[in-house]
């Protein structure tokens, strides 16, 4: 699993710190009630009447487009055979909302995001957070400036994303310029206050919510999936949706079978 930072917005990022558990550990947790264990994932395969077996993975590696012929006897056409395994139990747990086994896995990530995104994120009280504090350290001079395209986006079903009237390209560009001037002025006032001996916890009062902050967020897999349900929804603000998509990609890499179940539910 790569721990490289994934860029989000203009100066933000997501980075995996650590993870625990796996799709297999979820199955093991579920089987504790019957003193069972993980039995293995399904093994779909191609079989021949002569007894020859070709695994589905090996068949896919051959790049064949039709059903393969038997290597022992090319006159024989092999048959596909489903051999379901513990993916069936995983799907049952997820689809019937037996969610406690999904609490046996999870991850910690580091996030750099605008303060307004961080505040939205921290409404998810099932996660644990530790954020960079401007009481103890000056915040870096990094601010979010949305693109012209983002400013001109129609709100659609999200009323909060709509202005009082359509925004023109020139008006969007002017807003970006004004925002940049505001950030420069705020940072000048901030650094001047710090240099003047104003306490850091008060000097930060001049900083806008577009300033970037950093935090670490920790949750079990069940609650990360709930975060995705809410924050990948079209009604969620566009900026936090970009972070949620990054979180989704991390979950896909760490817990691919559970992530597939989540996507299937979303498409249904």
Residue positions annotated with a catalytic role? 231
Residue 41 phi, psi dihedral angles, 5° rounding: -80, 165
- Asked if 217 and 111 touch (Cβ cutoff 8 Å), the reply is yes
Rg (CA), the chain: 25
Query: Which residues, including other chains, have CB under 8 Å from residue 166's CB and lie 6 or more apart?
Result: none
- Quote the Cα angle for 171-177-180, to 5°: 140
**DSSP symbols for 237-266:** -HHHHHHHHHHHHHHHHHSHHHHHHHHHHH
Q: Element (H or E) spanning 217, and its range?
A: strand 212-220
Q: Element (H or E) spanning 178, and its range?
A: helix 169-195
Q: Element (H or E) spanning 110, and its range?
A: strand 106-114
- Asked if 86 and 39 touch (Cβ cutoff 8 Å), the reply is yes
């Amino acid at each position: 699993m790569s721990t490289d930072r994934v860029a989000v917005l203009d100066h933000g990022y997501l980075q995996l710190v650590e993870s625990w558990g796996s799709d297999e550990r979820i199955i093991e947790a579920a089987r504790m009630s019957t003193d069972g264990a993980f039995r293995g994932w399904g093994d779909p395969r191609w079989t021949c009447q002569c007894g020859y077996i070709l695994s589905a993975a090996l068949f896919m590696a051959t790049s064949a487009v039709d059903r393969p012929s038997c290597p022992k006897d090319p006159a024989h056409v092999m048959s596909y055979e489903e051999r379901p395994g513990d993916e069936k139990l995983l799907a049952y747990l997820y689809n019937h909302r037996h969610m406690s086994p999904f609490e046996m896995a999870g991850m910690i990530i580091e996030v750099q995001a605008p303060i307004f995104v961080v505040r939205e994120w921290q409404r998810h009280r099932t996660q644990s957070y530790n954020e960079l504090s401007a009481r103890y350290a000056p915040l870096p001079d990094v601010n979010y400036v949305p693109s012209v395209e983002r400013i001109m986006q129609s709100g659609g079903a999200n009323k909060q994303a709509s202005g009082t009237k359509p925004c023109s390209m020139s008006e969007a560009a002017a807003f970006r310029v004004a925002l940049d001037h505001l950030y420069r002025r705020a940072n000048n006032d901030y650094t001047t206050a710090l240099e003047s001996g104003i306490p850091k916890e008060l000097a930060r009062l001049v900083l806008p919510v577009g300033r970037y902050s950093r935090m670490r967020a920790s949750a079990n897999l069940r609650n990360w999936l709930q975060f995705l349900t809410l924050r990948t929804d079209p009604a969620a603000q566009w900026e936090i949706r970009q972070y949620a998509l990054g979180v989704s990609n991390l979950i896909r890499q760490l817990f691919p079978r559970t992530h597939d179940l989540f996507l299937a539910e979303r498409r249904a």
